[in-house]
Amino acid sequence: MAKAKLAVLISGRGSNLQSLIDAAADPDYPAEISLVISNRPKAAGLARATKAGITQTTIDHKDFQTREDFEAALDDALRLAKVDYVCLAGFMRMLTPNFVNDWRGRLINIHPSLLPAFKGMHVHERMIDAGIKLAGCTVHFVSAEVDAGPIIGQAAIPVLPGDTADTLADRILQQEHKLYPACIRLLAETKARLSGAVVLYDSSVIASGDLSNPPTE
């Protein structure tokens, strides 16, 4: 069976990109990264792609007069690479509804909260300020509404006494690095699929407990 082809979009250090690179290095992993794109020429994550021998390019949003022009160039690069899925990994650009709709069911994001709680920016600070007891991360399909698309998987961790926004962010990031490759595996193996506004799973996935953290009894 042919491996699913991924494009990963980054704007910064690319730590979630690295988790996908590491996962794809396993011969049994059902997906491979065909292309890494950054909207920032100096993004540190580009060096990760180069080191791994992955084709990488920069499409600088500052080179375009409109958001639509930037997205047209982005779309051209993705279609030329013939990718199956586009993984946002710290990609700090809002995407227009037209772009999102064109890639519906193939555009994936990871967010550092248990959606639908704490959408948007400054998530860790807001969670600490709210005094929540359970935090985590979510991998989801991208929709026109920010951080609101169908959920593929989530991982939860407790908020510990004395946690700061930084310590909480570090521990959530550790879960992100596990969850993102696991969710991509489910999609690439067609064990998870988008159906309307929800994600459906094979019975084997539900029985395994892989969709919850900690696993259900």
What tens-digit pLDDT sequence spans the chain (217 residues)?
799 999 999 999 999 999 999 999 999 999 999 999 999 999 999 999 999 999 999 999 999 999 999 999 999 999 999 999 999 999 999 999 999 999 999 999 999 999 999 999 999 999 999 999 999 999 999 999 888 899 999 999 999 999 999 999 999 999 999 999 999 999 999 999 999 889 999 887 765 555 555 443 3
Tell me: domain 1-103, CATH 3.40.190.10, correct?
no
Q: Where are the domains of the chain?
A: 1-103, 109-217
pLDDT digits (tens, 9 = 90+) for 198-215: 999 988 776 555 555 544
124 is catalytic: no
Residues 6+ apart with CB under 8 A from 82: 5, 34
Q: How many angstroms separate the CA atoms of 178 and 171, rounded?
A: 12
CATH number for the region 109-217 comes to 3.40.50.170
DSSP for 137-201, please give it.
EEEEE--SSTT-SPEEEEEEEEPPTT--HHHHHHHHHHHHHHHHHHHHHHHHTTSEEEETTEEEE
What is the pTM for the complete model shown? 0.93
pLDDT digits (tens, 9 = 90+) for 103-115: 999 999 999 999 9
Share of the chain above pLDDT 90, in %: 88
Tell me the three state secondary structure of residue 11.
Answer: coil
Catalytic residue among 61, 111, 122, 177: 111
- Which residue in the block uniquely carries the two structure tokens 């037209």? 98
HSE of 66, CA atoms in CB hemisphere, 13 A:
4
User: Would you tell me how many other CB atoms lie within 10 Å of the CB of residue 102?
Assistant: 15
Q: How many angstroms separate the CA atoms of 41 and 124, rounded?
A: 27
Matching fold, domains 1-103 and 109-217? yes
Residues 6+ apart with CB under 8 A from 197: 150
